[in-house]
Amino acid sequence: MKKIAVISILLGVMIFVSACGGNASPPAAEPAAPAAIAEEPVALPPDTAQEEAQAPSTTTGGTMEHWAPANLFRLHVPSGWNMQEDTDMIENTTVQTFTAPDGNAFVQVLANKVNTSLDHVLKGQVTLDYMKRLYGADLRVASDVLLPDGREKLEWWSDENKTSGTTYFHMGNNYLYYYTVAYKDQYEKDYMATLSDVAESFYQK
């Protein structure tokens, strides 16, 4: 009786295998989806253009030699400063302006062609008129010093423009000429040494 039961079971298994085509392997499991990788936040670079614009230009080394119109005199100006020239603002006058990259300091050269020599008083009056046109109508002179070489040195400030500076002026070769070194008041410490070097670099043939 036991043999008959075992044979019946074996026959059942063979019939089942035949019905399945002989493939008794279980279906392959689908591959698991890869785990999501957490993305780390990417640090964006700082706005370097803005930082450079705000950085004082005194950190930039190097100067360039600049001769005033008609080779009246020479200055050494910071090489990284931007230069603009104007011949329309004042009649018979060339105005050359060198401005620091952040706009907080400048060097300005002025050469005014005159037909006649101006006496000491008139020379000062004309120079002061030009300075007020360029640096502020409220400009006030703090000191006026005559230098050994004949140049006159004016230290001044403008409350309206919050600017202070020093202007050196003289006459020669039928020109009234001057140069100015100036800074925005709150940036005095940043530019004082640089502007002093420019002022002292004056040379005349």
pLDDT of residue 61: 57
pLDDT of residue 120: 86
How do residues 108-146 score in pLDDT, each as one tens digit? Answer: 999 999 988 888 899 999 999 999 999 999 999 999 999
**Residue 124 CA, distance from chain mean position:** 35
pLDDT of residue 118: 86
**Residue 106 CA, distance from chain mean position:** 13
**What tokens appear for 196 in the block?**
């002093």
Cβ neighbours, 10 Å, residue 80: 16
pTM of the model: 0.70
What stretch of H or E contains 10? helix 2-19
pLDDT of residue 115: 80
**What residues form DSSP beta bridges with 132?**
none
For 92, which DSSP code? T
Backbone angles phi, psi at 167, to 5 degrees: -120, 130
Low-confidence residues of the chain, pLDDT below 70? 1-61
Instruction: Report d(CA 73, CA 109) in Å as an integer.
Output: 10
pLDDT of residue 38: 42
pLDDT of residue 31: 44
pLDDT of residue 203: 98
pLDDT of residue 116: 80
Q: Which CATH number fits domain 60-200: 3.40.720.10, 3.40.1000.10, 3.40.50.10540, 3.90.480.20?
A: 3.40.1000.10
